[in-house]
Structure 1
Amino acid sequence: MNDHQAFEEVADFLAGTFHQDMGSPEQALADFIVENTKECLEFTLESLLVFMRTNTTEKEKEDFIKSYAEIYFPAMGLTPLEWLENVIGQLKEAVKTK
């Protein structure tokens, strides 16, 4: 997967999962994990890992995350990148148990 594909996949994941109609970010992620196959979780995880490894600056990554995820990060006490790292960790655990 190249960087461009990863950005497209991450945008789809963020916008499709963390939108204005979700109950909470935590519940939205839990629902995503339950509703999708192990293969889908692995693909999403790989896209997120490629996104995190790109040469894009932290600010650009954070702006990208904020533009697609309907989350108010200051209320969570996390930066968008810290939050995404937590999401990655939860997806890694979910892949192990699916």
Structure 2
Amino acid sequence: MLNAKLSSLLFALLASFSLMVSAAEVPSPSGAEAQSAEVAAVTTVNLNTADAATLQRELLGIGAVKAQAIVAYRDEHGDFASVDELLEVKGIGEATLEKNRGKLNAN
């Protein structure tokens, strides 16, 4: 009987220790993963090639209606010559442009 209790206690201790070791081995993001997240944060959106879904997803203050308006403007007037031309799109103001300037290009 004492042998069974000792075996159970030893099993419980080993199981607990195993769980502690497993929890301690949670890997931190590697340098490549951290760099990948950083690169994703600075990815730019090309006003001349992005579809409405991409514009809506990537730009601050741009919903479905404004994203579609950007695409419609591009279809009607041709490619954007510069990011500042985005101000010509109805519903896009200076504040929206400035919030997104670092994410935009028109190349």
Using the size of structure 2 for normalisation, the TM-score is 0.24
Considering only CA atoms, is the larger Rg found in Structure 1 or Structure 2? 2
Using the size of structure 1 for normalisation, the TM-score is 0.26
Higher relative CO (CA 8 A, sep ≥ 6), structure 1 or 2?
1
Q: Which one has a larger percent helix, Structure 1 or Structure 2?
A: 1
